[in-house]
Structure formats: C-alpha cells, structure tokens
C-alpha cells in the first residue's frame, strides 16, 4: 500500500520550512498553551475595572468586579462575535449596494447590470415599480432601497418575507425579527458594554436578531446585488490548486472578499496596454487567480482559477511565482507582508478601511476601479523581472478539477428543467428517500487542524456515501475542491439513491455555491423547499443540517447563529465559544430548540460529526413520516483512513 499522497498545503509547508519562512502553524505552536480564560469565554475586558477572569474549576473568583457572572461574560462574547460577523458581511453588502447605484447612474465605468431577471426579482421584493421603466432606473432605486435597509428608522428587513410564513411568525413571536442592519449591530455593542444587558437569555435573543440581520439582510443584499452586477452563478468548469500559477506568466493573486475589486482586475487584464506590457516584460501572459472567498466569487461566476483557501495565503506567496497579491478586506493576514519579504512579491491594499503596515496602497473606488486595477496589473508586470527562478516552486498541475457555480436558481433549473424550474424534483427525491437530506458544509480552515487533513472533504464523502446532497461555500468549498469532490464523476462515491439523482441531472454530489457571504443562497433554497410542499411547514421541519468544522472568523458564528435562528440544526467543530458558561451552553445546544425549532452542537471530535448530522436528518425524516429505514454506513477508523486516501490525490509537484 503506497504512502498517502501529500496535499498541497503539506507540500508547501515542507517547502516553507526548507526556506525558513515562518508560517501560521509556527505561530500557532508559539501561542500554546492558549489562554484558558479566553478559550472558555471567561475573560472580560469591556471596561477598565477589568480585565476580569472567572475561575470555573478552582477557588478563584466566580464574578467580575461589576458582579457579572460566567453566563453574562459568555453571552456578551457570543453577541459581540455575532455582531462583528454581521458587520463584516453587511458592510460588504453596503459596498455592493453603492456600486449598484453608481453603475446605474453611469458613474462606475466598466461595470454593468448583468442579470436583469434577478434585478426584477429584487425590485419586486423591495416594492420597486418596474413597469415602463429603464433597467438603470430600476437598478438605481433597488440600490437605494438596499442602502435604506442599513439605517431605516422603522420596520423590519424586507428580505425577511422571502422566508416561509411560519418562520416569520417564529421570529415575531420570539421578538427577534431584525430591524435596520446597522441598528442591530449598534445595539449589540450597546447592550454588551458595562452595565448593559446582563441576562444571557436576552443577550442570546439579540445575537439571533443581529445574526438574522446578516443572513436575511447584509449577506443576502451582497449576494443578490452581486448577482445583478456580475451575473448569477451557473455551472462552470474551473481549477483549484496552486498549480494554476504559471512559471512563464505574470501571476497576480486577488485575495479577500468583495468581488468588485477582483472583477475590475479581471477586466483590466485584457486591456491592450496591459497585454503590451506583459509581452515587453518577456512573459506569456497574466494569470489572475483568486484566494480565499474572492476566489470563490470568481470561480462560481467565471471559472477563474482558485489558488487556495484561507490557510494557504502564505503558501501562495511562497511559491516564489507571485508577482503581486492584491487584497481588499476580511481574512487577510498581516503575516503576508513578512512572507513577501522572502520573495519578490508585492502586497497591495486597496480599501481605505483595510490597510496593512508595510504594504503598498492603491486606492480603489467604484468610479476609478478600472484605472486602479490597471495600475495594479502594471505594477505586477514591472515586478516580473525581479522574480528569482531558483525560488519558484509550484506544487501541482492545473487540470480542470471542479464544476462550480450552483446558485439556488441553478439548482432549481437543473433539477426542474428550464421551462418548469422548481424544487419539486428535489423534494420528491427527499420524500422517496433517494436523497436522505441536505447538508450545508461551510466555513473556515484553521491551523488547529493538521495540514492535509481534508476534514471537510472527508465529511462530505461520508455524507454523500449516505445519500446526503452537500452544498458548500467559503473555505470549506475550497477544501472540498482540493479533495476532488466537485466533479459529476464522483457519483460513484455516492450512495445508490444520490448517485441515481446525480446521474439523471448531471450534477456533482457536492455543490459549490460561492463565498461565505453566499450562505444566504442556502437560506433561500430551504425556503423554496418548504414552499414547494411535502416536507413540513417550516425550515425546521426539513431534513437539512449545517456544519462548520474549522470555524475561525466571527463571521462563522454569525452564520451559525442565523442558520439556527432560521430553523437549521448546526454543528461546529473545535471548541464551543461559550464552554465556560454551562447555562449559556445549554441555551445554545438545547433550549434554543424550543424557541426557534433548532439548536447548536459543538463537537471537538470531528469524526463524530458525520453521525450527528445523519442522526438529525433521520430524526427529521421520522417526524415527517417519510422514513423508509435504510441501513446507514457508519465509518470506523480504518474506513476513515481509507476515505482520506481515496480523496482525490493532489498531483505531485514538478
Ligand atoms: S474566507 S470567513 S476563512 S470561510 Fe470567507 Fe474562509 Fe472563513 Fe474567511
């Protein structure tokens, strides 16, 4: 039996070690042991009486100086994380809404309305008149209405009415229907200051409300308006791995989250001045590759290659083949500046709200996007001559290895057909048991996990073997792509029911739906399944689950909380962020079910998570009365190792 082939991140870590380039794994080790108080949410520094710690096990204090107890500490932390995550996605959504307005007014050269159908759908949802009006006129009003969602003084968010009525009633009854997005973020920080909200149950209600303002507000605005501007994703062939970089090309990596920058860089890459400069520099062309969620955005819309996910940003620079890494915001590590010093790579920041000390800054704006993008590309080309070919190490080839681009509209069309697009066939296949349920596998990658562990890919394999259709976004999607899970040929790894469906429809069993902001697509898919009928009256009735194995960002907490508050059972790997506060943890993992029909689970042993998800799916099927018992495939240790080997081997380096 041959040795397990190394994954790209393992190969690159070996290379970085050889070159003595520090990595996040080194810094992770240097941080051990990490602060126990912080890990358990038992450290509070919200005021200068503190920092206060609570000692849950020993003789130390059980309260902060103000008298706040462990549950209040943890409840505040959890709310601040939900608020911060919501702020990230929502500020992103606001930027897209501004771009839609400036595009409609003709003030953003290069951009245009690409999906008029989606514009009309959003217009209808916002109550914007469409009859006898120009597209740009409608788009301007839709953009302005979207901007109003951030700060309107009265009412709740307009997209909430896309949820099933039963769910809207749950939110009303619990008093958690979100009002303006900025209001929910602002109130979350207000409540968590010294002397504010000190009932962990009330704090948790607000964490649901602010998170819902993310999922059904800021994130949904970002996704829908991006689709209007850049196109709604459709199935597209793409590539994922660092092998997309080319030795004889100028390589530019676009990293971060907001696609307007990346789209401008792609547009500018075909500018005649850029082409001329590339040839003058002696290169065969320019490769623009994405990293992190920018990669997901470019991949699902255009099939533009993906160089890697979050934990691979230092590794990408360490190929020695990257002339320039241009970044916008979110999940960009300061460490890339230090990494770039070992090579010739330039790091360029672009947003006034996200600068990095040591990076060059080229200001990006909607009005001058193409000029900025061209300038950045010319900087990269100019830097090509500084590349040290002895340091170039590109770890894998670039065979087509993904079919991506599964928006909820695409899934509907593929399953139901162009002329009667509907979720009926999906619901029918769930009812007849060919598909047991749906799992959203989403979220970050983390140095807490062994490099090359491919945890998300292994979980996805386990689920599809049990006839569960997997939808994935964010860095989890990047890892599933690296694991070779996004090809229709993978149907042979499915259980017989799912295989039959994938064959009939021509889809892979693991569907790439976009970036972390695009989890809102999964909310809409769930709503449509309920509205289609036959699977209960609410999202909480569906055999649908969510999982995030390597959560890292506060955005992941906001996402988890909006899924739970929308009725979806969610399991997170790693540590529970409220583990030091038993009542708070019980609230999340048990009591929330009574309030919103769903709950969290936290499980350190990620090998148990597949079974937890399957158990929940079968429980929901039982409750719906659609269960024909099926023997489940549970994996023992030897089989799990076999799964790891089976996951698509990453081609060896050359
Ligand atoms: S980039 S938030 S590591 S998914 Fe969206 Fe990936 Fe998580 Fe950042």
Q: Where are the domains of the chain?
A: 66-230, 241-391, 420-624
Q: What ligand 1 atom has the least distance to the C-alpha of 478?
A: 6
Is the confidence at residue 241, as pLDDT, over 90? no
Whole-number Å distance, alpha carbon 235 to ligand 1 midpoint, is 22
Q: What ligand 1 atom has the least distance to the C-alpha of 443?
A: 4
Q: What ligand 1 atom has the least distance to the C-alpha of 309?
A: 6
- Residue 615: phi and psi, rounded to 5, are -60, -40
Ligand 1 environment, Cβ below 6 A:
257, 292-293, 310, 331, 443-444, 474-475, 515-516, 552-553, 555-556
Dist CA 420 CA 541 (whole Å): 25
Pocket test residue of 552, 554, 574 for ligand 1, highest count of atoms within 8 A of CB: 552
Q: 213: buried, middle or exposed (CB in 10 Å: 19+, 13-18, 0-12)?
A: buried
Q: Which of 195-199, 327-331, 394-398 has the lowest mean pLDDT?
A: 394-398
| Helix/strand/coil for 14 | helix
Is the confidence at residue 339, as pLDDT, over 70? yes
pLDDT in tens, 166-218: 999 999 999 999 999 999 999 999 999 999 999 999 999 999 999 999 999 99
Pocket test residue of 311, 446, 475 for ligand 1, highest count of atoms within 8 A of CB: 475
Angle of helix 200-213 relative to helix 70-104, nearest 10 degrees? 20
| Helix/strand/coil for 512 | strand
When pLDDT is cut at 50, 70 and 90, the band that residue 414 belongs to is confident
Is the confidence at residue 574, as pLDDT, over 70? yes
Dist CA 409 CA 406 (whole Å): 8
**What is residue 652's predicted lDDT score, i.e. its pLDDT?**
31
When pLDDT is cut at 50, 70 and 90, the band that residue 343 belongs to is very high
Is the confidence at residue 600, as pLDDT, over 70? yes
Q: What ligand 1 atom has the least distance to the C-alpha of 551?
A: 7
Is the confidence at residue 26, as pLDDT, over 50? yes
Q: By the 8 A CB rule, do 211 and 570 touch?
A: no
Is the confidence at residue 5, as pLDDT, over 70? no
Question: What are the angstrom distances between the C-alpha of 253 and each of 262, 313, 321, 361, 501?
Answer: 9, 10, 10, 15, 37
Q: What ligand 1 atom has the least distance to the C-alpha of 442?
A: 4
Q: 95: buried, middle or exposed (CB in 10 Å: 19+, 13-18, 0-12)?
A: buried
**What is residue 419's predicted lDDT score, i.e. its pLDDT?**
63
Q: Which of 29-43, 67-81, 346-360, 413-427 has the lowest mean pLDDT?
A: 413-427
Ligand 1: residue whose CA is nearest its atom 3: 444
Q: What ligand 1 atom has the least distance to the C-alpha of 292?
A: 1
What the block records as the tokens of 594 is 């009574």
Fold of 66-230: Substrate Binding Domain Of Dnak; Chain:A; Domain 2 (1.20.1270)
Q: Which of 10-24, 424-438, 539-553, 630-644 has the lowest mean pLDDT?
A: 630-644
Mean pLDDT, residues 573-583: 94
Whole-number Å distance, alpha carbon 443 to ligand 1 midpoint, is 6
Could you write out the three-class secondary structure of 219-242?
Answer: HHHHHHHHHHHHCCCCCEEECECH
Mean pLDDT, residues 278-303: 95
When pLDDT is cut at 50, 70 and 90, the band that residue 631 belongs to is low
**What is residue 418's predicted lDDT score, i.e. its pLDDT?**
59
Is the confidence at residue 46, as pLDDT, over 90? yes
- Higher per-residue confidence, 120 vs 306: 120
Is the confidence at residue 390, as pLDDT, over 70? yes
- Fold: same for 66-230 and 420-624: no
Ligand 1: residue whose CA is nearest its atom 2: 553
Mean pLDDT, residues 476-503: 88
**What is residue 638's predicted lDDT score, i.e. its pLDDT?**
62
Q: 271: buried, middle or exposed (CB in 10 Å: 19+, 13-18, 0-12)?
A: middle
- Higher per-residue confidence, 226 vs 649: 226
* Percent residues over pLDDT 70 in the chain: 94
Give, as one character, the DSSP assignment of residue 589: I
Whole-number Å distance, alpha carbon 169 to ligand 1 midpoint, is 31
Whole-number Å distance, alpha carbon 515 to ligand 1 midpoint, is 8
Whole-number Å distance, alpha carbon 332 to ligand 1 midpoint, is 10
Q: What ligand 1 atom has the least distance to the C-alpha of 516?
A: 5
- Among 610, 615, 652, residue whose Cα is nearest residue 458: 610
Ligand 1: residue whose CA is nearest its atom 7: 444
The pairing of strands 569-572 and 544-548 is parallel
Is the confidence at residue 3, as pLDDT, over 60? no
pLDDT in tens, 365-383: 999 999 999 999 999 999 9
Question: What are the angstrom distances between the C-alpha of 576 and each of 24, 33, 102, 430, 623?
Answer: 22, 17, 43, 32, 28
**Architecture of the structural domain at 241-391:** 3-Layer(aba) Sandwich (3.40)
**What is residue 395's predicted lDDT score, i.e. its pLDDT?**
87
Q: 589: buried, middle or exposed (CB in 10 Å: 19+, 13-18, 0-12)?
A: middle
Whole-number Å distance, alpha carbon 310 to ligand 1 midpoint, is 6
**What is residue 653's predicted lDDT score, i.e. its pLDDT?**
29
Dist CA 611 CA 629 (whole Å): 16
Whole-number Å distance, alpha carbon 246 to ligand 1 midpoint, is 25
Fold of 420-624: Rossmann fold (3.40.50)
Pocket test residue of 448, 553, 558, 573 for ligand 1, highest count of atoms within 8 A of CB: 553
- Mean pLDDT of all residues belonging to the chain: 93
Mean pLDDT, residues 516-536: 96
């Amino acid at each position: 039996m041959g040795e397990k082939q190394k994954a790209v991140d393992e190969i690159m870590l070996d290379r970085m070690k050889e070159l003595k380039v520090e990595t996040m794994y080194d810094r992770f080790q240097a941080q051990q042991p990490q602060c126990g108080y912080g890990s358990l949410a038992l450290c509070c520094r919200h005021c200068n009486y503190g920092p206060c710690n609570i000692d849950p096990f020993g003789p130390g204090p059980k309260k902060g100086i103000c008298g706040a107890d462990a549950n209040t500490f943890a409840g505040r932390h959890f709310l601040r994380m939900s608020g911060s995550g919501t702020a990230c996605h929502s500020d992103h959504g606001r930027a897209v809404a501004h771009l839609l307005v400036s595009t409609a007014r003709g003030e953003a050269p290069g951009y245009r309305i690409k999906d008029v159908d989606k514009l009309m759908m959003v217009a209808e949802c916002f109550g914007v008149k469409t009859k006898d009006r120009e597209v740009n006129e409608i788009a301007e009003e839709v953009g302005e209405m979207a901007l109003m969602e951030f700060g309107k003084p009265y009412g709740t968010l307009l997209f909430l009415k896309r949820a099933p009525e039963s769910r809207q009633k749950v939110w009303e009854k619990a008093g958690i229907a979100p009002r303006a997005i900025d209001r929910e973020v602002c109130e979350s920080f207000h409540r968590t200051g010294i002397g504010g909200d000190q009932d962990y149950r009330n704090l948790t209600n607000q964490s649901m409300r602010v998170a819902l303002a993310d999922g059904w507000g800021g994130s949904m605005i970002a996704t829908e308006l991006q689709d209007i501007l850049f196109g709604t994703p459709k199935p597209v062939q793409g590539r994922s791995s660092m092998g997309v970089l080319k030795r004889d090309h100028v390589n530019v990596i676009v990293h971060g989250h907001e696609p307007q920058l990346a789209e401008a860089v792609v547009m500018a890459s075909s500018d005649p001045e850029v082409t001329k400069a590339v040839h003058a520099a002696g290169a065969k062309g320019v490769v623009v590759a994405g990293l992190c969620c920018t990669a997901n955005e470019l991949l699902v819309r255009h099939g533009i290659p993906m160089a890697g996910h979050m934990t691979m940003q230092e590794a990408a620079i360490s190929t020695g083949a990257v002339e320039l890494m241009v970044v916008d915001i979110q999940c960009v590590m300061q460490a890339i500046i230090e990494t770039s010093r070992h090579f010739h790579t330039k790091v360029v920041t672009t947003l006034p709200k996200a600068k990095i000390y040591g990076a060059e800054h080229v200001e990006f704006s909607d009005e001058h996007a193409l000029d900025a993008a061209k300038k950045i590309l010319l900087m990269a080309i100019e830097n090509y001559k500084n590349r040290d070919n002895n340091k170039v190490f590109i770890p894998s080839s670039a065979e087509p290895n993904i079919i991506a681009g599964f928006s909820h509209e695409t899934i509907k069309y593929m399953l139901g057909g162009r002329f009667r697009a509907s979720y009926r066939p999906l619901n029918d296949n769930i009812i007849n048991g060919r598909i047991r349920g749906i799992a959203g596998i989403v979220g970050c990658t983390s140095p807490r996990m062994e490099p090359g562990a491919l945890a998300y890919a292994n979980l996805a394999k386990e689920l599809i073997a049990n006839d569960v259709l997997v939808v994935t976004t964010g860095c989890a999607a990047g890892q599933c792509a690296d694991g070779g899970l996004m090809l229709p040929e993978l149907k042979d790894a499915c259980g017989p029911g799912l295989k039959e469906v994938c064959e009939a429809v021509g889809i892979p069993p693991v569907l790439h739906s976009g970036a972390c902001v695009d989890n809102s697509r999964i909310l809409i898919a769930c709503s449509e399944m309920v509205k289609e009928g036959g699977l209960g009256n609410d999202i909480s009735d569906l055999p649908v689950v969510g999982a995030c194995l390597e959560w890292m960002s506060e955005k992941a907490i906001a996402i988890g909380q909006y899924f739970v508050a929308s009725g979806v059972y969610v399991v997170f790997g790693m540590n529970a962020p409220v583990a030091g506060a038993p009542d708070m943890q019980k609230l999340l993992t048990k009591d929330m079910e009574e309030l919103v029909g769903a709950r969290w689970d936290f499980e350190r042993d990620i090998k148990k998570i597949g079974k937890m998800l399957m158990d929940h799916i079968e429980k929901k099927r039982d409750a719906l009365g659609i269960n024909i018992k099926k023997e489940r495939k549970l994996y023992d240790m030897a089989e799990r190792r076999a799964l790891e080997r089976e996951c698509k081997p990453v081609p060896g380096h050359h």
